[in-house]
Amino acid sequence: MTQFNWLPPANRRLDQNLQSLRARLIGDPYYRLQSAQEIAVAAELGIKIDVNQASVDDWLRLPGISIHQARSLVELTSAGVPFYCVEDIAAALGMPVQRLKPLEPVLRFCYYDEDYTIRRINPNTASVEQLSQIPAVDASLATAVVQNRFIAGPYRNLVDFQQRLSLPGQLTAQLMHYLRF
């Protein structure tokens, strides 16, 4: 007896495309989603973006989000603006909610108590007093940060910060959660 395949060839091709998409989503954490179908597959795989902790790269994974919009959202959350729903994101970006609704399956709206959220400080603009409020930063390190910035210019990123100040890895690991560049 011959086995009859009830799936037409087009559906088999679709299934292969879904398997290929799943493999790309699992293998590439920065894969940029391009359609509602890809969003559905990502949601099915459990991929979620915490909107209140998302980086620019996280936002850029979503279709229809520009680099400028991603940066604006990150700046707002870094400044302490919480997003409670997709309507909040739409309002922040000045766009219709209907344009963002298809993204909801991969968005996670987590809420953080202010006591548990870390206020990140930009070492390129912070004063000695502000830097001294970071755990593991004493007055001498805070002064060194400001003096080095004055002499050599702004810090490009965490690596530049560590190298210019000759900080040990353990201290840099403690500081990286408190700094934003």
- The three-state secondary structure class of 23 is helix
- At residue 10, the pLDDT reads 47
49 and 19, same domain (yes or no): yes
Domain around 64: 11-108
- At residue 94, the pLDDT reads 94
Please report whether residue 141 resides in a domain: yes
* Band of pLDDT at residue 5, cut at 50, 70 and 90: very low
* Band of pLDDT at residue 8, cut at 50, 70 and 90: very low
- At residue 20, the pLDDT reads 85
Concatenate the DSSP letters of all residues of 50-118 into one string.
ETTT--HHHHHTSTT--HHHHHHHHHHHHTT----SHHHHHHHHT--HHHHGGGGGGEE-----TTTSP
100 and 60, same domain (yes or no): yes
- At residue 167, the pLDDT reads 95
Rounded to the nearest integer, the mean pLDDT of the chain is 87
46 and 94, same domain (yes or no): yes
Please report whether residue 73 resides in a domain: yes
40 and 104, same domain (yes or no): yes
109 vs 79: which has the higher pLDDT? 109
93 and 160, same domain (yes or no): no
Q: What's the pLDDT tens digit per position in 91-110?
A: 999 999 999 999 999 999 98
Please report whether residue 79 resides in a domain: yes
Mean pLDDT of the 3-12 span? 46
Does the pLDDT of residue 1 top 70, yes or no? no
100 and 151, same domain (yes or no): no
In terms of Cβ atoms closer than 10 Å to its own Cβ (0-12, 13-18, 19+), residue 134 is: buried
- At residue 7, the pLDDT reads 42
Q: What's the pLDDT tens digit per position in 26-75?
A: 888 789 999 988 999 889 888 899 999 899 999 999 999 999 999 999 98
Q: Six-digit token pair at 35?
A: 């359609």
Does the pLDDT of residue 12 top 90, yes or no? no
- At residue 4, the pLDDT reads 44
Q: Which of residues 74, 108, 142 is at a domain's end? A: 108
- At residue 79, the pLDDT reads 79
